[in-house]
Structure 1
């Protein structure tokens, strides 16, 4: 070795530079709405439900546990509204114990562990009041909790505690949270922040273009715009808020609009266009975002939601720190019962090609009855295939690579996009702690009204694009079964719309852009000729029910067994060919509430007045044997053809996907000039 070599200085590897970044802030309801308090602060004890291993495989035991799971664990304690001192300040009365292990204030560690570059976090809590105890807990994926650390203030002045916490134990899920316990005097939770050391190149938050599609909901839409502008932190992330105005009742004419517009300080643009449905509105937002070429993300929001503004900050932060470009969405609570969680993640069953909640998820969950710390299933991480577009953040880089949404008008555009992104290597994460309040799907009638066309057509289009099965798995058979159910239920308008949907599918992908602005008018014209689609709100619009011979037993409240339903299916189908009872042409045989309007009940009737799920109206259903025969024949022919032609049809749709979702195709549909160079 030479002297020169011996004297050369050794270079130590340079440690990667990091900066500290806020991940999540402690928040309280914007308007002190007591209905949503359980989502922010919990005054109840934790009573964890039974572990599945202790229940075992016995069917009766499982059923009993399911029932017990829905029972309220609350003792009736409640927090007064005057304890909320601001958006980030909370009073804890002397001698009381409040937990922040809640939907909006717990930290969903399992999601950060799986999907982001964050490995360690720090919780900083500031309290005032002598004897204020701050206790930190963590849960495992099976819901069991452990005490992690605690500190107690000794001064009446503001005291700040820091807790360094690891994300390593959260492979399958789990949360962090903290409780505040006041001693002999009131304590004030002044603020709390979860932050982390992150790579320096991720220090600056990404920016957002918000896309809102609106159609005759000016009041909701104007208030939503105002929510975006009212939060300084949210406003700082916004490049532009785009409102795609597709209705006749304009958002600009709403009394709240001027103030909402001013709050965004020049960042609002209203784009008027034809009614192209949600897909036309959100695709326009994608296109405008790409053309502006300045935003990291495009964020979709429905026009009829109430948002928790902190959700926008959290989805952007999560997206910034994700391991790879990731679509980040939020959950949906009912706007009518605000502590009820309606959607907690969505997957697509590839065999049926149907959207659904993952198997571990319990639908319609009421946090007001059973809190997060008492609910085992909420601690397991839920992985999804897509996020509905009521709150969905999409990286602009993903849009550039996989294209814009499909021209589907409504239904399946969001789920198809998530599946398409997933196939390209871009996951979707539905992030706990990010949510909106929205009208739940269960309160709508979209499987039977004009939207039935889009449900049917778009599901088949998505399956043709992405189903791994040669003939679409179970989809064709399931579609046929549903058609028969609608037929024996006298829902002839729905059957006809679903026929048209499948005929359009068979015509190939060329019809998608062509039909986008005109199809809705055609659908409504078709439905107008069917009595089951003619809704009337006046209770006296229909004759009173009458039968020549009343039923011996007419209990419609019980759900029949599966075996009984199979018998009903056979007998109900056969009786559709018999002559109708003459009196049923003048009088309905029954008035059937929406919750009882199942096919196995309607199949035994010749006429019925059936109410709609939203409770606003009803329609007259009348059995028609000739129409039944013709529609059944057509149903058989269409489904045989679908099964036979599926492989070729799938090849056509897949080969044209890039063109259909391109900027050029959408620009032509919008009637706007392509950019120079396109």
Structure 2
């Protein structure tokens, strides 16, 4: 029920509206459009007949101008050899079939309407020529005095059907047995999705083995011999996905389809991605979008690029909205979604890579987690291979909002891998802003009493300076080493019981009890200098050592707020636990000095380090290097 609006919409056939009047009129029109979309008729999920059919009630309009059923014409026009499509609609009952299209501005345009009665097949031949910059095709059904049924509908390419490519579908997992079994069941329940999958490969890197989970034997039997398990040490996402790439090349598959373990897949996506990839003019990486697993109508990301001056994930244009909720604004009324989004990479929650690309540019970087997918997309782009994030292909995935990956153990990998990616691909001297921005991030963590995070970032810089040759060797060992440091830092030790910490004491609150606010751009530097000096020189009050000054919700855990405390209990991102942040001038002094020294060294030696990493890239991502790592950490050979 939560996903119904991603498939079928109801109400008037309205597109995004535009006004040539002044800005206030434009705002008014946009508001009216959104309200009209929200006030459309209800979608009755009880009328769904199957995966392909539904019923329109008497007089009801059903629109398939939705995320999963509209045809993203501009993507096929830009990247494939398809020049026209045929919309094939099978219906029962009396009513009308209306075809619409949009342009890159999101304006709706009526194409054709046909009356239908009884068992009817309606074919519409549609050109892709007008879709240079964006636009979709879709159709609506309008029932007459009696119910009208959609039996099925298909978007078809002209000409003889070509033999589809073969896929190695690979899932990397770490103790996510419930998710894995659910996705194996989805695959088994949708055999058409498996039609061109030569092998379903699970790379199990966990301690709770999938083969020992209840229900595994049934899932294995349901897949008819296509499932194969590989057990290896925890080499992170990059190690698991590299194994999938390696096995796909070795087995002779045309593509490897990489999947995260903590997802719920839409199985039709496999067929769509394969069909698209087969029709691409040149070998192309095809990725799926990501919806929020816990809020199923929310699209978390529609396409991503890399800002190569800052080396941060970016989005192609400012109108693009992260976390777009289709329950609030449907596809037809969301103007920015009609413009084609060209990307640098696609997340490996679901991503199909031609094995020809792998044979040419190598496998994943051995970086455990973070930035492996972005680096691979940039590497492929430099070699002349495109990446396409394909609308209508998607998974539901846990979003980053409920993770502390910027202030927990993953901070090490964020910091190191981001700079490694910049060393490999930055067009700017000394990497643009990446090192300077990293220094600012270090300071924010330190004045926020996040010393565990800062120590991880220091370790990251040291390992980066040590060079690319040791990346394979430290692949399985860095996470245990980081986790072992937790006992030295109170803010990294979590307690689920709210009463595990002393209650906040009656101490003088920061800022004389006034509210907190971030410093402005103009005042930031003097504010930061004053804050650092105060934290370095002012002793921590005994009362703040014995009791926290406050309890801080995760949403309020911001550097400009936390820097004003000496002691506070802070909730983690998912709300399951909390930890005690305590100011420590000695740790601040040592980490501030070490971070500054390492960042200065990286800036000074940027060119030398860049040349070193670029020279080593073909070797450390090669089939041979990864094979040696897999053999060394194979659990099946132990």
Is 1:98 matched with 2:58? Answer: no
Partner of 1:497: 456
Partner of 1:207: 166
Decide which structure has the larger Cα Rg and report it: 1
- The 3 A distance-change label for structure 1 pair 617 and 126 is same
Question: 1:411 offset after TM fit, Å?
Answer: 0.6
Deviations 1:219-247 (A, max 9, x none): 11111112122212111111111100111
- 1:557 and 1:596 in contact (8 A); partners too: no
- 2:371 and 2:418 in contact (8 A); partners too: yes
- 1:611 and 1:617 in contact (8 A); partners too: yes
- Cα distance in 1 for partners of 2:28, 2:508 equals 41
Question: 1:554 offset after TM fit, Å?
Answer: 4.3
* Candidates 43, 54, 63, aligned match of 2:10: 43
Q: How well do the aligned residues superpose, as a CA RMSD in angstroms?
A: 2.2
1:577-592 to 2 correspondence within 5 Å? 577=536, 578-592=538-552
Partner of 2:182: 223
* Candidates 594, 615, 621, aligned match of 2:575: 615
Deviations 1:263-288 (A, max 9, x none): 21101101011011111111111111
1:350-429 to 2 correspondence within 5 Å? 350-359=308-317, 360-429=319-388
- Cα distance in 2 for partners of 1:61, 1:72 equals 16
Is 1:660 matched with 2:620? Answer: yes
Partner of 1:14: none
- Cα distance in 1 for partners of 2:36, 2:606 equals 49
Gaps of 5+ in 1: 1-33
Question: 1:254 offset after TM fit, Å?
Answer: 2.2
- 2:80 and 2:280 in contact (8 A); partners too: yes
* Candidates 132, 148, 166, aligned match of 1:187: 148
Stretches (4+) displaced over 3 A: 44-56, 60-73, 550-568
- 1:569 and 1:600 in contact (8 A); partners too: no
Deviations 1:422-454 (A, max 9, x none): 000000000000000000112111111111111
SS at match of 2:374: helix
- Cα distance in 2 for partners of 1:398, 1:92 equals 45
- The 3 A distance-change label for structure 1 pair 181 and 299 is same
- The 3 A distance-change label for structure 1 pair 582 and 224 is same
Is 1:506 matched with 2:469? Answer: no
Is 1:146 matched with 2:113? Answer: no
- The 3 A distance-change label for structure 1 pair 441 and 69 is farther
Question: 1:322 offset after TM fit, Å?
Answer: 0.3
Question: 1:78 offset after TM fit, Å?
Answer: 1.8
Deviations 1:480-514 (A, max 9, x none): 00000001000000000000001100011012101
- 2:305 and 2:343 in contact (8 A); partners too: yes
* Candidates 276, 286, 290, aligned match of 1:332: 290
- The 3 A distance-change label for structure 1 pair 244 and 67 is farther
1:23-422 to 2 correspondence within 5 Å? 34-45=1-12, 48=15, 51=18, 73-75=37-39, 77-130=41-94, 132-154=95-117, 156=118, 158-198=119-159, 203-293=162-252, 295-359=253-317, 360-422=319-381
- The 3 A distance-change label for structure 1 pair 67 and 133 is closer
- 2:254 and 2:355 in contact (8 A); partners too: yes
- 1:547 and 1:584 in contact (8 A); partners too: no
Gaps of 5+ in 2: none
- Cα distance in 2 for partners of 1:387, 1:343 equals 10
SS at match of 1:332: strand
- 2:12 and 2:40 in contact (8 A); partners too: no
- The 3 A distance-change label for structure 1 pair 376 and 120 is same
- 2:285 and 2:385 in contact (8 A); partners too: yes
Partner of 2:630: 670
Deviations 1:139-161 (A, max 9, x none): 0000001000011113x3x1011
Question: 1:556 offset after TM fit, Å?
Answer: 5.3
- 1:333 and 1:342 in contact (8 A); partners too: yes
SS at match of 1:497: helix
- The 3 A distance-change label for structure 1 pair 603 and 436 is same
Partner of 1:18: none
- Cα distance in 2 for partners of 1:65, 1:521 equals 56
- Cα distance in 1 for partners of 2:238, 2:35 equals 40
- Cα distance in 2 for partners of 1:362, 1:164 equals 33
SS at match of 2:219: helix
- 1:46 and 1:371 in contact (8 A); partners too: no
- 2:14 and 2:108 in contact (8 A); partners too: no
- 1:325 and 1:398 in contact (8 A); partners too: yes
- The 3 A distance-change label for structure 1 pair 474 and 560 is closer
- Cα distance in 2 for partners of 1:631, 1:54 equals 57
Deviations 1:243-263 (A, max 9, x none): 001111111122232222122
- The 3 A distance-change label for structure 1 pair 649 and 234 is same
- 1:45 and 1:74 in contact (8 A); partners too: no
Question: 1:626 offset after TM fit, Å?
Answer: 1.8
Scaled by the length of structure 2, the TM-score of the pair is: 0.95
Question: 1:546 offset after TM fit, Å?
Answer: 1.8
Partner of 1:575: 534
Is 1:449 matched with 2:412? Answer: no
- The range that moved more, 486-495 or 620-629, is 620-629
- The range that moved more, 590-599 or 355-364, is 355-364
Partner of 1:13: none
